């Protein structure tokens, strides 16, 4: 066996050869033209500018006029705001976007962008594609065509995507037969290879491509994949399935293997799949794939890539506080790649290896390994991307290697994601492409990646910007959402559903002063997906029970207020731990009792955990370490203390999170609490109560008091011994509580504090340069998630004139594809409403909608059983109409037409509510404008408007949506506290303590 060091030496030899040949080929440099050169020069020199530039390129294809281009160019590349080389500065230094100069620049921009796109993309019709392929074959290179387009949100889009492939094969395959045989690129290890090679992204084949429910995704995707495979088989084309982001990895692999195990495809060999070496699990994936191939018994192709979603994977993981699935260092991916490459070559009897890379070292190591393992040039291929590393391609072809060029095909709008990824790669700091082919760099660049690893240091886990003023006050980490990509989690959820179902029908008595108290009346809580199932029965408290609870809470307060803030925090951290431990159980219960689909229920639990931890940390900070202003001779501090007895009135929209928010803030601050949960979800609250009972919280500190709001609830709120009412509910109830608060009979020694979070009538503005696909998807998630039964839900889409029709179309298409079903079924996106009265309420609003607008969509394909109401989209709604002004709290979405951006803001701000709001736009000026003038408690730009995270996005509305308290924010706890200033004069007869004297001496 050849020793490793000689393979390494061989690798260097190959590397040097590639270098030298590429250098020779370099005059044929790929990019030409002023714009491109300028762009690359600038982006290499100024990092901040690079981002602005690429963002501009992202929006460019949708800009309809030179005016629009000039305006955006100005907004993105304002020379006053971004450092810029002289050339760019000159080009952009014009006064008015409509000046001649500006329009000239705009025209050049458009032309430059078209050129740039053209250098990556093969064309937008078969004719262009064929012409392109001819060019490649002349350079003795093979190709694989990738139809641009990714994640799709409607069946129409998926159909279109499928049809494009079918058409492409129909056109190309007959043409391919006319091409002369080239032994370098048309011959594989076992004979001729298909000349037409297609790459395909499975996420584009179905709007329900979701790992949470593999069987239904498989059903839906295979339905469109099979005809493609058949056509390929019939016409002799090759189909490669691409890999996308990690969330789709397992599902993609499963789909690929499933369909190829089907009888009609069992013998198909002209297919391939991808291994992404930047995944930490890459080698395991390879093992799994290899054993599947062996089991299946006939070979396929495998393309080894490093992976193109590194930025996104790390960002998504950071946002969810989870570990990224990718290697954190470039060299780790490189090492992993080389290891798998070798194993692929070793197993080439089972698979045809394709090595996708632009890294000379990687290519050379593959070639060395191949040589060492006796694989000749027909037994593997090297793949590169169109428009990138052209000298390398020529060098490899000259060296007699089979080079295949990965070439996107389609229009620029749908290809923008692809284009941006390519630009990023070309300009990234550690990209091989950014290096020139100077020979003096060759040795450094050809080093074994395992040896270039930097001195070991822990990867930075920095989450926030590291500036002093932004530094968090305390160590708090959000609880990650469950990844349903992971089969184990899916199984645990299913098991939890079974477990919880087994506990249906139990009775839940009141809990007052640590004792359970049964009552005469009981509240029946049913499963809204199947109302014949009783989730449980909760005791219905009387006003006498309320009095007992207040008395108990009052008694308990005397000692609870004195408990060390750290000990109180400890209870909350323990409760958070318990929820963490039982998170699937709680989520399952929420799925049953509130009718929340899996992901929504899971998020409810994470948020509850966050509140418990957050306020615990915060209380420790606020209460245990008071702010001091000690002067020589005088100690001054500001202490925060509990107020007394707190009544928590929760709603069912977030049966656990909202309850946990108000309750944990109240407890952390040292108040005692009476929880009155919503009558629709008393069982979730009872379980939450049980968590605290399990922690031996002192009796009376937390009491559980479900019951009728109009009688018992109102009585509770008016009790003279209650100091604080925290309420999440309708505006009417909130205002009633607020109005009652200052009333104080003579026996009451305080004014009640009210912390109220009320309704919303939330709008999302869709600007005329928005990414319409993302906007439609975001609006639908915001409007129909949990059937629109969130105070934060999007109820109004305010759409700019230019994109109104297109957006409506996209919206209706996508909404039509959303899965409606019982909440406990994993694929369900839209579950039931909470109860029968909600159904009647929806019917009423639907009737109004019919009168006030044009119904675009009314889904009636609903389950027979359960409180289901289909999503409704109503367009052309007048901003002042009832349907555009009243809170609906259900799956009805209005679409409103806005003349221009000012008008859109006016409409969006034109209700009494101001909870959440959103904007989809790619105009920096409009985004700034909205930040300033779209006056809502939580504004979201270019993302959905529900799902705020504790600490990161403090939550709460203004105007009549709330009193301004921001849950999960730095001041929320203050509302549950009294602040007292304590001043102690410490100078006795001129005697100061030495610490004080130091301060002045």
Active site residue 977: no
Which residues between 470 and 529 bind a copy of itself (CB under 8 A)? 470, 472
Q: Which stretch binds a copy of itself (CB under 8 A): 163-171, 192-200, 457-465, 836-844?
A: 457-465
d(Cα 633, Cα 622) in Å, to the nearest integer? 24
220 to 239, contacts with a copy of itself by CB under 8 A?
none
Taking the least distance from each CB to a copy of itself, the nearer of 307 and 853 is 307
CA distance 399 to 636: 80
Least separation in angstroms between CB 630 and a copy of itself: 5
The answer to the question of residue 912 lying near a copy of itself (CB under 8 A) is yes
For a copy of itself, which residue of 131, 629, 844, 899 counts as binding (CB under 8 A)? 629
Report how far residue 39's alpha carbon sits from residue 922's, in angstroms, rounded to the nearest whole number: 20
- Please spell the DSSP secondary structure of 809-851, one letter per residue: HHHHHHHHTSPB--TTSTT-SB---SSHHHHHHHHHHHHHHHH
Identify residues 545-564 at the interface with a copy of itself (CB under 8 A): 562
Query: Does 942 contact a copy of itself by CB under 8 A?
Result: yes
Does 178 bind a copy of itself (CB under 8 A)? Our answer is: no
**Binding-residue pattern over the window 703 to 742 for a copy of itself, x denoting contact by CB under 8 A:** --------------------------------x--xx-xx
Contact pick of 127, 159, 264, 743 for a copy of itself (by CB under 8 A): 743
Cβ nearer to a copy of itself, comparing 502 with 742: 742
CA gap 970, 473 in Å, rounded: 9
Closest alpha carbon to 716 in 701, 729, 706: 706
Minimum distance from CB of 566 to a copy of itself (Å)? 15
Our finding on whether 138 is near a copy of itself (CB under 8 A) is: no
Shortest reach from residue 932's CB to a copy of itself, in Å: 7
Is 956 near a copy of itself (CB under 8 A)? Answer: yes
Check binding of 881 to a copy of itself (CB under 8 A). no
Give the residue with the Cβ less far from a copy of itself, 336 or 416.
Answer: 416
624 binds a copy of itself, rule: CB under 8 A: no
Considering just the CA atoms, what is the radius of gyration of the chain in Å?
32
Q: How far is the CB of 210 from a copy of itself (least distance, A)?
A: 20
Question: Is 941 one of the binding residues for a copy of itself (CB under 8 A)?
Answer: yes
Footprint on residues 1-60 left by a copy of itself (CB under 8 A): 47-48, 50-51, 54-55, 58
Closest listed residue to residue 200, CA positions, set 274, 283, 126: 274
Q: Provide the minimum distance between the beta carbon of 885 and a copy of itself in the complex, in angstroms, as a whole number.
A: 10
For a copy of itself, the binding residues in 294-333 under the rule CB under 8 A are: 308-309, 311-312, 314-319, 324, 328
420 near a copy of itself (CB under 8 A): yes
Q: Considering the candidates 336, 646, 791, 894, report the single residue annotated as catalytic.
A: 791
**Alpha helices, DSSP H, located in 416-542:** 416-427, 439-445, 449-452, 487-501
CA distance 371 to 10: 9
Residues with Cβ < 8 Å from 182, sequence gap 6 or more?
137, 140
User: Are the C-beta atoms of residues 426 and 388 closer than 8 Å to each other?
Assistant: yes
Quote the crossing angle between the two packed helices 34-45 and 47-59, to the nearest 10°: 140
Task: Return the number of other C-beta atoms located less than 10 Å from residue 626's C-beta.
Answer: 17
Distance CA 285, CA 271 (A): 18
Residue 886 engages a copy of itself in binding (rule: CB under 8 A): no
For 711, how many CA atoms within 13 A lie in the half-sphere containing its CB?
Answer: 9
Total residues in contact with a copy of itself, by rule CB under 8 A:
120
Distance CA 125, CA 883 (A): 45
Question: If binding is defined by CB under 8 A, does position 744 make contact with a copy of itself?
Answer: yes
Nearer residue to a copy of itself within complex by CB, 244 or 852: 244
Coarse DSSP helix, strand, coil percentages of the chain, rounded to the nearest 5 percent? 50, 15, 35
**At its nearest, how many Å lie between a copy of itself and the CB of residue 817?**
22
Shortest CB 991 distance to a copy of itself, Å: 5
Residue 96 CB, nearest distance to a copy of itself (Å)? 22
Residues numbered 631-690 forming contacts with a copy of itself, rule: CB under 8 A: 631-634, 636, 638-639, 641
Beta strands in 821-970 (DSSP E): 854-858, 872-875, 892-898, 913-914, 916-920, 938-941, 958-959
Among residues 383, 663, 911, 946, the one that binds a copy of itself under rule CB under 8 A: 911
Q: How far is the CB of 717 from a copy of itself (least distance, A)?
A: 13
- Angle between helix 583-594 and 598-619 (nearest 10): 120
Q: Is 791 a catalytic residue?
A: yes
- Name the residue nearer to a copy of itself (CB basis): 370 or 737: 737
Tell me which residue of 933, 910, 911 sits closest to 919, measured CA to CA. 933
Spot the catalytic one: 585, 607, 757, 996: 757
Contacts of 520 (CB under 8 A, 6+ apart): none
Q: Where are the alpha helices (DSSP H) in 429-542?
A: 439-445, 449-452, 487-501
The residues that are catalytic are: 757, 791
């Amino acid at each position: 066996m050849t020793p490793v060091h000689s393979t390494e030496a061989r690798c260097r030899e190959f590397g040097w050869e590639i270098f030298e040949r590429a250098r020779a080929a370099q005059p044929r440099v790929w990019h030409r033209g002023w714009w491109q050169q300028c762009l690359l020069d600038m982006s290499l020199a100024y990092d901040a500018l690079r981002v602005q530039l690429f963002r501009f390129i992202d929006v460019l294809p949708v800009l309809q006029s030179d005016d629009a281009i000039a305006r955006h160019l100005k907004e993105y590349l304002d020379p006053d705001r971004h450092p810029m080389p002289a050339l760019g500065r000159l080009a952009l230094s014009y006064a008015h976007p409509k000046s001649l100069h500006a329009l000239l620049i705009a025209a050049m921009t458009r032309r430059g962008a078209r050129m740039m796109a053209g250098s990556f993309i093969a064309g937008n019709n078969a004719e262009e594609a064929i012409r392109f392929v001819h060019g490649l074959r002349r350079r003795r290179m093979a190709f694989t065509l990738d139809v641009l387009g990714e994640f799709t949100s409607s069946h129409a889009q998926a159909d279109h995507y499928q049809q494009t492939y079918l058409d492409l094969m129909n056109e190309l395959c007959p043409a391919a037969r006319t091409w002369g045989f080239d032994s370098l690129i048309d011959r594989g290890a076992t004979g001729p290879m298909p000349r037409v090679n297609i790459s395909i992204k499975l996420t584009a084949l179905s709007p329900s491509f979701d790992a949470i429910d593999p069987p239904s995704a498989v059903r839906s995707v295979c339905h469109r994949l099979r005809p493609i495979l058949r056509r390929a088989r019939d016409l002799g084309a090759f189909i490669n399935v691409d890999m996308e982001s990690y969330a789709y990895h397992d599902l993609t692999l499963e789909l690929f293997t499933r369909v190829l195990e089907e009888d009609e495809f069992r013998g198909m060999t002209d297919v391939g799949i991808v291994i992404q070496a930047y995944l930490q699990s890459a080698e395991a994936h390879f093992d799994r794939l290899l054993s599947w191939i062996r089991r299946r018994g006939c070979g396929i192709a495998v393309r080894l890539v490093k992976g193109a979603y590194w930025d996104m994977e790390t960002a998504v993981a950071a946002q969810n506080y989870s570990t990224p699935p990718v290697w954190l260092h470039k060299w780790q991916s490189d090492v992993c790649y080389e290891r798998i490459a070798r194993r692929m070559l070793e197993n080439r009897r089972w698979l045809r290896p394709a090595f996708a890379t632009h890294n000379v070292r990687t290519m050379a190591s593959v070639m060395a390994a191949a040589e060492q393992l006796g694989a000749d040039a027909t037994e593997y291929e090297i793949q590169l991307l169109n428009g990138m590393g052209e000298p390398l391609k020529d060098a490899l072809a000259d060296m007699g290697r089979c080079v295949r060029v990965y070439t996107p095909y389609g229009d620029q709008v749908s290809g923008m994601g692809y284009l941006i990824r390519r630009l990023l790669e070309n300009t990234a700091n550690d990209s091989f492409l950014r290096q020139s082919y100077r020979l003096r760099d060759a040795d450094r660049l050809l080093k074994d990646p395992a040896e270039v690893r930097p001195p070991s240091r822990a990867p930075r886990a920095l989450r926030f910007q590291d500036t002093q003023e932004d530094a968090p006050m305390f160590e708090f980490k959000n609880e990650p959402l469950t990844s349903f990509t992971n089969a184990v989690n899916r199984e645990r959820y299913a098991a939890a559903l079974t477990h919880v179902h087994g506990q249906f029908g139990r009775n839940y008595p009141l809990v007052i002063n640590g004792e359970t108290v049964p009552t005469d009346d009981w509240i029946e809580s049913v499963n809204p997906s199947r109302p014949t199932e009783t989730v449980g029965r909760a005791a219905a408290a009387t006003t006498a029970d309320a009095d007992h609870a207040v008395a108990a809470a009052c008694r308990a307060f005397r000692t609870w207020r004195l408990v060390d803030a750290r000990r109180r925090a400890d209870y909350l951290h323990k409760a958070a731990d318990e929820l963490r431990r039982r998170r699937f159980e709680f989520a399952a219960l929420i799925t049953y009792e509130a009718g929340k689909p899996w992901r929504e229920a899971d998020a409810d639990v994470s948020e509850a955990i966050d509140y418990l931890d957050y306020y615990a940390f915060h209380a420790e900070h606020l209460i245990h370490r008071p702010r001091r202003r000690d002067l020589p001779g005088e100690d001054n501090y500001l202490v925060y203390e509990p107020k007394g007895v707190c009544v928590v009135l929760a709603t069912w929209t977030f049966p656990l999170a909202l309850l946990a928010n108000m309750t944990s803030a109240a407890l952390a601050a040292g108040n005692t609490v009476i929880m009155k949960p919503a009558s629709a979800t008393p069982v979730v609250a009872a379980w939450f109560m049980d968590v605290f009972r399990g922690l031996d919280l002192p009796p009376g500190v937390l009491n559980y008091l479900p019951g009728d709001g109009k009688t018992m609830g109102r009585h509770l709120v008016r009790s003279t011994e209650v100091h604080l009412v925290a309420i999440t509910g309708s505006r009417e109830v909130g205002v009633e509580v607020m109005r009652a608060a200052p009333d104080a009979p003579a026996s009451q020694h305080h004014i009640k504090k009210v912390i109220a979070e009320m309704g919303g009538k939330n709008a999302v503005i869709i600007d005329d340069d928005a990414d319409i696909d993302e906007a439609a998807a975001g609006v639908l998630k915001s409007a129909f998630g949990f059937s629109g039964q969130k105070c934060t839900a999007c109820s109004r889409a305010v759409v700019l004139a230019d994109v109104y029709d297109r957006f409506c179309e996209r919206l209706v298409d996508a909404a039509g594809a959303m899965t409606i079903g019982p909440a406990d079924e994993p694929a369900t996106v839209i579950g039931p409403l909470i109860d029968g009265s909600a159904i009647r309420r929806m019917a009423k609003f639907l009737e109004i909608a019919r009168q006030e607008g044009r119904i675009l969509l009314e889904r009636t394909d609903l389950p027979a059983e359960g409180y289901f109401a289909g999503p409704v989209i109503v367009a052309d709604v007048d901003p002042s109409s009832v349907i555009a002004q009243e809170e609906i709290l259900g799956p009805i979405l209005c679409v409103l037409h806005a003349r221009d951006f000012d008008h859109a803001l006016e409409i969006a701000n034109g209700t009494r509510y101001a909870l959440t709001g959103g904007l989809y736009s790619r105009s920096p000026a409009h985004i700034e404008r909205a930040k300033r003038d779209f006056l809502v408690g939580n504004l979201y730009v270019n993302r959905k408007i529900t799902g705020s995270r504790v600490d990161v996005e403090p939550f709460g509305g203004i105007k009549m949506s709330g009193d301004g308290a921001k849950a999960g924010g730095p001041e929320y706890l203050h509302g549950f506290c009294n602040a007292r200033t304590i001043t102690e004069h410490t100078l006795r007869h001129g005697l100061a303590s030495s610490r004080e004297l130091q301060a002045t001496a």
